[in-house]
Amino acid sequence: MRPFDYQRPDTLSGAHGAARDGATFIAGGTNLIDLMKLEVMAPDTLVDISRLGLDRIEPHGDGLHVGATVTNSDLAADLRIRRDYPVLARALLAGASGQLRNKATTGGNLLQRTRCPYFYDTATPCNKRRPGSGCAAFGGEMRNHAVLGTSEHCLALHPSDMAVAMRALDATVELEGADGTRRETALDDFYRLPGDRPDRETTLSAGDLITGVILPAPFGGRQTYRKVRDRASYAFALVSVAATVRMENDLISNVALAFGGIGTRPWRDHDVEDLLTGEAPTTALFEKAGDILMKDAVLREGLEFKDTLVRRLLTATLTEMTQ
């Protein structure tokens, strides 16, 4: 690990002061410390944001405000989350391990880096790690990679389970700029596609601190998170889906679907939801939804299985939820 300066401010303004000079925030550290050990990331200054009082879950209008340093464990265990946003509790519980969830935070989970093996291996070219150096996944092994939203420069997946559920829930990210101004960005607009700059993953500016995530009023209906992976626990998703569905008179009256494991960002396609809304649930309809979801997918060698897998997952999940 490269040497760095460590600061632990106890006020937001203290954190911004440090960040103005180009520091990197550390929350749980479960991703950042890993990457620093490998020298994939080498910050000069670490600003520990764990003691800024951002660890509360509070009412916010008809919804909830989840502080940026609320741990994944505490969020999944919160009774309001379990009752009103079960898809989020389920997604959190499907991620990582009991130990990791006790450290992993809401903000850190949103900003965790990809699990593309070449991103972690500094001996290989990687446009995300070193812009312009190339992409070792081409000509290498593609498995843990995306089929939607990719470019010839990068096809890295966003690995978060939590962010997939939050996207289905229409969550908003609350930010504070280095000058202390607050703003909100819908999660729909938070992540960027890789294009020719895969190192730029979000619409955050330098020094922006995530202060929390806002969940809108509870959606109700049925909610579920299904994750398919290589082993039953403690593994990242091959594909996953966060689904919320409301039925009225045996028709689908409202539906939101977000996907993990297929996109370069937590994936949501409103065309899929438009097709389903107002319709009677049938297998034929769900298969058509799969066609729309995957219409722009690029199934590079090694990733073909994701096409079948995500379509089956979509059909199985909607069948179960609309019964």
Ligand X SMILES: Cc1cc2nc3c(=O)[nH]c(=O)nc-3n(C[C@H](O)[C@H](O)[C@H](O)COP(=O)(O)OP(=O)(O)OC[C@H]3O[C@@H](n4cnc5c(N)ncnc54)[C@H](O)[C@@H]3O)c2cc1C
CA distances from 257 to 48, 112, 221, 303, 314 (A): 35, 22, 13, 21, 9
- Count of C-beta atoms within a 10 Å radius of residue 292: 15
Which one of residues 75, 93, 135, 237 is an interface residue with ligand SF4 (CB under 6 A)? Answer: 135
DSSP assignment of 101-139, as one string?
A: HHH-BHHHHHHPPP--HHHH-TTS-BTTTSTTS-BTTTT
Q: Tell me phi and psi for residue 240, to 5 degrees.
A: -150, 160
Which one of residues 36, 88, 111, 318 is an interface residue with ligand X (CB under 6 A)? Answer: 111
**Cα 46 from chain centre:** 23
Helices (H), the chain: 12-20, 32-37, 72-77, 79-84, 86-93, 98-103, 106-111, 117-120, 162-168, 270-276, 283-293, 304-322
Residue 225 C-beta: closest distance to ligand X, Å: 11
DSSP annotation of 212: E
CA distance 323 to 319: 6
Binding segment for ligand X (CB under 6 A), chosen from 94-102, 192-200, 216-224, 250-258, is 94-102
Binding segment for ligand SF4 (CB under 6 A), chosen from 24-32, 132-140, 230-238, 289-297, is 132-140
- Check residue 105 for interaction with ligand SF4 (CB under 6 A): no
**Cα 183 from chain centre:** 20
- Check residue 159 for interaction with ligand X (CB under 6 A): yes
- Check residue 205 for interaction with another protein (CB under 8 A): no
Q: Tell me phi and psi for residue 99, to 5 degrees.
A: -65, -50
Which one of residues 23, 66, 84, 109 is an interface residue with ligand X (CB under 6 A)? Answer: 109
Binding segment for ligand SF4 (CB under 6 A), chosen from 85-93, 119-127, 174-182, 246-254, is 119-127
Q: Which does 210 bind (CB under 5 to 8 A by kind): ligand X, ligand SF4, another protein, none?
A: ligand X
Nearer Cβ to another protein (89/142): 89
- Check residue 27 for interaction with ligand X (CB under 6 A): yes
Q: Which does 112 bind (CB under 5 to 8 A by kind): ligand X, another protein, ligand SF4, none?
A: ligand X
Which one of residues 19, 23, 40, 46 is an interface residue with another protein (CB under 8 A)? Answer: 46
Bridge partners of 176?
A: 182, 209
Binding segment for ligand X (CB under 6 A), chosen from 7-15, 27-35, 130-138, 146-154, is 27-35
Print burial letters for 196-234: b (CB count within 10 Å at least 16), e (below 16): ebbeebbebeebbbbbbbbbeebbebbbbbbbbeeeeee
Binding segment for ligand SF4 (CB under 6 A), chosen from 148-156, 179-187, 235-243, 244-252, is 148-156
> Considering CB under 6 A, how many residues would be counted as binding ligand X?
30
Binding segment for ligand X (CB under 6 A), chosen from 93-101, 140-148, 249-257, 295-303, is 93-101
Reduced to 3 states (helix: H, G, I; strand: E, B; else coil), residue 149 is: coil
Owner of token pair 């764990």: 50
User: For the chain, first and last CA: distance in Å?
Assistant: 53
Residue 38 C-beta: closest distance to another protein, Å: 9
Judged by the rule CB under 6 A, the positions of this chain that interact with ligand SF4 are: 114, 116, 118-119, 126-128, 135-137, 154-156, 198
Binding stretches for another protein (CB under 8 A) = 1, 3-6, 8, 26, 29-30, 33-34, 37, 46, 48, 50, 73, 76-77, 82-83, 86, 89-90, 93-94, 96-100, 102-103, 232-234
